[in-house]
Chains A and B, each alone.
Chain A
Amino acid sequence: MKIRLDHVVKTFDTFRAVRDVSLDIESGELVALLGPSGSGKTTILRMVAGLEYADGGHIYFGDHDATGIPVRDRGVGFVFQHYALFPHMTVAENIAFGMKVSKVKREKTAIAARVVDLLRLVRLEGLGNRFPAQISGGQRQRVALARALSVDPKVLLLDEPFGALDANVRHDLRRWLREIHRELGITTIFVTHDQEEALDLADRVVILKDGQIVQQGTPEEVCRNPQSAFVMKFLGDANMLQAQVRDGRAYASGAAIEVGGMADGKAELYARPADLDWSAHGPGIAASIDRILDRPDSRRVLATTENGEHLEFDVEPERPVRANERGFVTLRRARVFAV
């Protein structure tokens, strides 16, 4: 099912949660809505579900205007952040709920058979008789997914699907969700504030800030070509240096890089920790090392430039750098945004 948001607006009291968002989602696509808290990502998801109504604009499912259709008739599967499993029903009863209350009457045996199928799909065979309080967080999340899929939704919506889980479980579930999506081919939108999760899982990432889309594209597009300082910072660690653009070059603390076509003036230079390196001799940005954080696969160096700007970068594990050492930070690549 194709989904189209057309100039959607939502205001809570005086807070403008979503301002004029337009978005096209192709049938079968897996899309991440990524943004910090308050960026309106959950509100957008809830409007697509019909749990909130848009104040302005339209939401189309296929060619059909779904803006005013209530959630119970919209045919979406929604997985809530804290799963919202019915605590007084067993896992099997939770999954069967949607089929039991459906207007389409089903035979009891047909429902039971479908529950078994869904339990197998989410790899929870044999746990049908447990209550939600008796299973782990990761298992609950899979029950929630099975329950959402039980009504054959046209669209699957997940609100922070892995937010409440341990890092390990999260990693496994991410891979597993990707597999399920490939298997079922159902149009899926999920909300997250975790850029790694969005980049790992989604076909397309939609980055939101203050209720507006600031950039969207494949993980490759948004990573390789962030179009604003916000996206650069939000997608991962970034160092910022004050810079001055003159004649197509940006100068910052003794380093300079080509910035074709930028107008002269003040600018900010951003570089990922992996884009910086350390050398004992110039040229580069004169700095001294404050501290070293050792990590399994690299060493993170915290340094301060002569201008008092703080930088963080990674060097390979064998590199014998020490705190209080003086030297130069070299710039492998960077992006410059006008202020």
Chain B
Amino acid sequence: MRRNVLPGLRLSLGVTLLYVGLIVVLPLAALVFKAASLGPEDYWRIVSSSRALASYRVTVLCALGATLFNLFFGLGLAWVLTRYRFPGWRLVDAMVDLPFALPTAVAGIALTALFTTNGWFGSVLADLGIKVAYTPLGIMIAMCFTSLPFIVRTVQPVLEDLDPALEEAAQSLGGSDWTIFRTIILPLLTPAILAGLSLSFARSLGEFGAIIFIAGNQPMSTEITALLVFIRLEEYDYQAAAAISSVLLFTAFLMLALTNWMQSRALRYTVRN
């Protein structure tokens, strides 16, 4: 093994592995174990019940929508924050982290108050015939709010480190602004964007506090999976809760694996020899 300058590998490795084991692996294993204590037939019945399926659909679709929205908006925000300095820049930069800092229930209540039919936004939107609170659209907005910082904060440092000479070189070779963005900047941002997307999507899948206030929680239409799990827990049906949770867990895993694979493909060029 290569010797490092700083000693303490064994101690630090031991402590971190113990920590990961206790805090991450053990609860997940317990979850899987609990779910597995159901027979395959019962498990399948629970996870494929029409109410569960409806909750997956609304959760995944809203999470996809929110992530897609954050892709564009987050990229734009990261771009503005790195490329321009304007009065209030520091404030805007700090506000990006607000959804991280704010208790999600507070966000949920604030969003609900804004978007109900007599709220500031909701009343205007209601006149236009758009209903936000207690619809999937509301769920999506809550997800957007809580997962916005991920894209901004993963893309921003990469964008800041991008050598301006790359763009100048492309310009001197005759590239138009759009060509340069499409063929130089975007490919170099791709790994960071993928990381941000996966975090944003995972967060949206599991978000609970911000959503339940604005969602309306109607089974079969605006009931998210995390809430269904919570309802099963309230009914002391731990096995069913674990079974439905395992579906979320599996989805998150699959998605992280997929984005990791895409990231390593996008970063092929950095591999030496």
Number of chain B residues close to chain A: CB under 8 A: 23
Tell whether, in the assembled complex, residue B184 and residue A78 are in contact, meaning their CB atoms are under 8 Å apart. Answer: no
Q: Which A residues are in CB contact (< 8 Å) with B184?
A: 86
Q: Which B residues are in CB contact (< 8 Å) with A133?
A: 269-272
Query: Interface size bucket, A side?
Result: 20 to 34
- Indicate which residue in A50, A84, A88, A97 contacts B175 across the interface (CB closer than 8 Å): A97
Tell whether, in the assembled complex, residue B174 and residue A151 are in contact, meaning their CB atoms are under 8 Å apart. Answer: yes
State the Cβ distance, B5 to closest chain A Cβ, in Å.
25
Is A147 part of the contact surface with B, judged by Cβ < 8 Å? yes
Tell whether, in the assembled complex, residue B170 and residue A49 are in contact, meaning their CB atoms are under 8 Å apart. Answer: no
Q: How far is the CA of A102 from the CA of B268 in the complex (A)?
A: 27
Contact A72-B166, Cβ < 8 Å, known A87-B270, A133-B272 = no
Tell whether, in the assembled complex, residue A88 and residue B165 are in contact, meaning their CB atoms are under 8 Å apart. Answer: no
State the Cβ distance, A50 to closest chain B Cβ, in Å.
8
Tell whether, in the assembled complex, residue A51 and residue B168 are in contact, meaning their CB atoms are under 8 Å apart. Answer: yes
Q: How far is the CA of A78 from the CA of B166 in the complex (A)?
A: 11
Q: Mark A9-20, 1 if CB is under 8 A from B, else 0.
A: 000000000000
State the Cβ distance, A297 to closest chain B Cβ, in Å.
39
Tell whether, in the assembled complex, residue A147 and residue B173 are in contact, meaning their CB atoms are under 8 Å apart. Answer: yes
Tell whether, in the assembled complex, residue A134 and residue B273 are in contact, meaning their CB atoms are under 8 Å apart. Answer: yes
Tell whether, in the assembled complex, residue B172 and residue A71 are in contact, meaning their CB atoms are under 8 Å apart. Answer: yes
Is B171 part of the contact surface with A, judged by Cβ < 8 Å? yes
Is B176 part of the contact surface with A, judged by Cβ < 8 Å? yes
State the Cβ distance, B87 to closest chain A Cβ, in Å.
18
Tell whether, in the assembled complex, residue B172 and residue A134 are in contact, meaning their CB atoms are under 8 Å apart. Answer: no
Is A7 part of the contact surface with B, judged by Cβ < 8 Å? no
Tell whether, in the assembled complex, residue A84 and residue B273 are in contact, meaning their CB atoms are under 8 Å apart. Answer: no
Q: Mark B168-193, 1 if CB is under 8 A from A, else 0.
A: 11111111100100011001100000
Tell whether, in the assembled complex, residue B173 and residue A97 are in contact, meaning their CB atoms are under 8 Å apart. Answer: yes
Give the residue name and chain of the B residue nearest to A81 (CB): B165
Give the residue name and chain of the B residue nearest to A50 (CB): B172
Q: Which B residues are in CB contact (< 8 Å) with A89?
A: 269
Q: Which B residues are in CB contact (< 8 Å) with A102?
A: 174
Contacting B at CB under 8 A, from A137-156, are 147-148, 150-151
Contacting B at CB under 8 A, from A68-108, are 70-74, 76-78, 80-82, 84-89, 97-98, 101-103
Contacting A at CB under 8 A, from B203-228, are none
Interface centre among B169, B272, B273 (most CB of A within 10 A): B169
Q: Which B residues are in CB contact (< 8 Å) with A97?
A: 170, 173, 175, 183
Is A131 part of the contact surface with B, judged by Cβ < 8 Å? yes
- Indicate which residue in A71, A87, A148 contacts B171 across the interface (CB closer than 8 Å): A71
State the Cβ distance, B216 to closest chain A Cβ, in Å.
46
Tell whether, in the assembled complex, residue A51 and residue B174 are in contact, meaning their CB atoms are under 8 Å apart. Answer: no
Q: Which B residues are in CB contact (< 8 Å) with A101?
A: 170, 173-176, 179, 183
Tell whether, in the assembled complex, residue A49 and residue B172 are in contact, meaning their CB atoms are under 8 Å apart. Answer: yes
Q: How far is the CA of A147 from the CA of B170 in the complex (A)?
A: 10
Tell whether, in the assembled complex, residue B173 and residue A131 are in contact, meaning their CB atoms are under 8 Å apart. Answer: no
Give the residue name and chain of the A residue nearest to B267 (CB): A88
Tell whether, in the assembled complex, residue A80 and residue B272 are in contact, meaning their CB atoms are under 8 Å apart. Answer: no
Is B41 part of the contact surface with A, judged by Cβ < 8 Å? no
Q: Mark A144-175, 1 if CB is under 8 A from B, else 0.
A: 00011011000000000000000000000000
Q: How far is the CA of A148 from the CA of B170 in the complex (A)?
A: 10
Q: Which B residues are in CB contact (< 8 Å) with A51?
A: 168, 171-172
State the Cβ distance, B42 to closest chain A Cβ, in Å.
50
State the Cβ distance, A141 to closest chain B Cβ, in Å.
13
Q: Mark A201-245, 1 if CB is under 8 A from B, else 0.
A: 000000000000000000000000000000000000000000000
Give the residue name and chain of the B residue nearest to A82 (CB): B165
Q: Which A residues are in CB contact (< 8 Å) with B127?
A: none
Give the residue name and chain of the A residue nearest to B169 (CB): A84
Give the residue name and chain of the B residue nearest to A87 (CB): B269
Is B163 part of the contact surface with A, judged by Cβ < 8 Å? yes
Q: Which A residues are in CB contact (< 8 Å) with B273?
A: 134
Tell whether, in the assembled complex, residue A98 and residue B163 are in contact, meaning their CB atoms are under 8 Å apart. Answer: no
Give the residue name and chain of the A residue nearest to B165 (CB): A84
Contact A76-B269, Cβ < 8 Å, known A87-B188, A88-B188, A101-B179 = no
Contacting B at CB under 8 A, from A259-311, are none
Q: Which B residues are in CB contact (< 8 Å) with A84?
A: 163, 165-166, 168-169
State the Cβ distance, B194 to closest chain A Cβ, in Å.
14
Tell whether, in the assembled complex, residue A88 and residue B174 are in contact, meaning their CB atoms are under 8 Å apart. Answer: no
State the Cβ distance, B187 to closest chain A Cβ, in Å.
5
Q: Mark B240-273, 1 if CB is under 8 A from A, else 0.
A: 0000000000000000000000000000111111
Q: Which A residues are in CB contact (< 8 Å) with B176?
A: 72, 101
State the Cβ distance, A186 to closest chain B Cβ, in Å.
15
- Indicate which residue in B172, B187, B268, B271 contacts A78 across the interface (CB closer than 8 Å): B172
Interface centre among A73, A82, A86 (most CB of B within 10 A): A86
State the Cβ distance, A62 to closest chain B Cβ, in Å.
19
Q: Which B residues are in CB contact (< 8 Å) with A151?
A: 173-174
State the Cβ distance, B272 to closest chain A Cβ, in Å.
6
Known: A80-B169, A87-B270, A97-B183. 9 other contacts (CB 8 A): A78-B169, A82-B163, A84-B168, A87-B269, A88-B269, A97-B175, A101-B173, A133-B271, A147-B173
21 contacts between A and B (CB under 8 A): A51-B172, A70-B171, A72-B173, A74-B172, A78-B169, A78-B172, A81-B165, A82-B163, A82-B165, A84-B163, A85-B169, A86-B166, A88-B269, A101-B174, A102-B174, A131-B268, A131-B270, A131-B271, A134-B271, A134-B272, A147-B173
The 3 tightest CB contacts between A and B, nearest first, are: A98-B173, A84-B165, A84-B169
